[in-house]
Amino acid sequence: MKSAGPTSSGETTTPAPAGGSLSAELKTPDGRSAATATFDFTGGYVTVTVKSVAPGILTPGIHGLHVHEIGKCEPNSVAPTGGAPGNFLSAGGHYQAPGHTGKPESGDLASLEVRQDGSAYLVTTTDSFNRDDLLAGNKTALMLHGAQDTENAMDRVACGVIGTG
């Protein structure tokens, strides 16, 4: 934590502590690490930073990125509502903060653009949820969907449980 400069009386002040940080490691269905994400809470909003960990794992293109309602990232799993199994379906649907029912959904984030070499980096902000929201109940997960211009645009291609570690 940085201290603010001296005040007019010569005292050094320290700002109030930030709202804390959370992180997620997004993995592919076969267990490869695809990206890391951090959630830094300060000033009433969160800064979300997502970075690929190695070129070539993610398909080039624009990928949907969302917070999902359950902190589970199980390949070949069934959704909480039942149905056929699929990758990361155990994470449920898009997260909605308490009291929010409209669109865009609380968990909707900016899309992640993966470059031709498979690398990506995104920094975005939102005030649609707070740290406690993401850790409440069954926790939450960060989901990366398939590239929008491909046949698998809605596929869940990488997932990470959002947590403190």
Domain ranges of the chain: 20-162
pLDDT band at 16 (very low <50, low <70, confident <90, very high): very low
> Which among 73, 157, 89, 96 is positioned nearest to 81, based on CA atoms?
89
The rounded distance, in Å, linking the Cα atoms of 97 and 52 is: 27
What is the Cβ-side half-sphere exposure of residue 157, based on CA atoms within 13 angstroms?
25
pLDDT, tens only, 89-146: 999 999 999 888 889 999 999 999 999 999 999 999 999 999 999 999 999 999 999 8
Taking residue 13's Cβ as centre, other Cβ atoms within 10 Å add up to: 9
Q: Is the peptide bond before 75 cis (omega within 30 degrees of 0)?
A: no
**pLDDT surpassing 70 at residue 25:** yes
Burial of 12 (0-12, 13-18, 19+ CB in 10 A): exposed
CB 14 within 8 A of CB 93: no
What is the reported pLDDT for 17?
42
Backbone angles phi, psi at 90, to 5 degrees: -65, -15
What is the reported pLDDT for 150?
61
The CATH number corresponding to 20-162 among 3.20.20.70, 3.40.190.170, 3.40.980.10, 2.60.40.200 equals 2.60.40.200
